[in-house]
Structure 1
Amino acid sequence: MNDTLLRNWWLLVARGAIAIVFGVLAIAWPAVTLLTLTALFAAFTLLGGAVWIVGAIKYRGMDRHWWMPMLLGIVSVAVGVLATFNPAITLLTLILLMGANAVVSGVLDIVIAVRVRKLIRGEWLLLLSGLVSIVFGLIVLLFPLGAGAVMLATLIGVYAILTGVLLLCLAVRVRSWSRSAGAGRASPAAGTG
């Protein structure tokens, strides 16, 4: 997992950008219908999951923890497929799916942050993103019908934007670290020749 994340900062950029777009759309259309909210959520989870799966497959031979982003991707894609092929899903079921997806994603983000903490600075951004996801997921799971549809859409939008910004900040740090680590590895080799 460490190598996959550190060599592919673009995974974090893609996931962060998808989250921000989803969040902006959810806030921009606060009175969305259930069908629209389901479609936005399905697109968000399918795209985010696909990004992690591609990264895991690409570096499975070089990273013994490649299964972690693969698991995150599979969970996201499974939830997205369920929402896509069952657009008439009830509001309660959709809310519970969103909450469960957020909790699982948050736990996996925290596990990844702990694994890379010795390799990069700024891993706290991924940890914070995971905590935000878990808190959001727990609120949604504990109070699934406590808010109206407009409030739910706004809450989802704020969560997605906050998570997206944190992931983009982490991507910038990972990118600079991977460049300096790459330059550090190239320097000694150049000096030995």
Structure 2
Amino acid sequence: MATPMIDDLKRLYRMTWWALMLRGLLSLAVGIFIFARPLDSVAAFALVIAFWAIFLGLVEIVHAFQLRPMVQHWWVILLSGVVGVAFGIAALVYYPTLALTFAVVWVAWWLMATGLLGIYATLQLRRMGTDWGWPAAFGVVSVVAGVFALLAPPVTLAAIMGLIAGFAIIAGIVLIGGALKLRSIVHP
């Protein structure tokens, strides 16, 4: 005997399973496209970075003016937004070099910062007398990877695109699986 709540859930599933399927198919297509057309994908990635910076910058500018009556240092958010918009415009003007350089440098610094923090954590663990070998290895590997990322930008860019493609393919498979599961609940 079906309860009203179960009927509501089935109705909701019936209305939404196809959206998961579309998202899954799109995600899968993007992942496959990145692997099949890496140069086109890198060019698109550069555009995403540029437009993302412009969009976030505009949002921060609007947010700064909203906070102006309540926050003394609202201008810091405004400045951040202006810098974001300026970077986005510059990334379009100097397309694709600036955006791709940004991506490589960002990843490299992120790896190095993570590694240095890992090494710091290792020192703290060692002082406490606990196991510190794996965190130390992680820290060193991360710093070395960061330096390598700066020294080999094409390899770094390929790794970034590979990670995006891999994530897109896995997400696509999971979303399609979820959509099929929802559909099977509605249409046994």
- Fold shared, TM-score > 0.5 on shorter chain: no
More helix by share: 2
Structure showing greater relative contact order (alpha-carbon pairs closer than 8 Å, 6 or more residues apart): 2
TM-score by length of 2: 0.40
Q: TM-score, normalised by structure 1?
A: 0.39
- The structure number with the bigger radius of gyration is 2
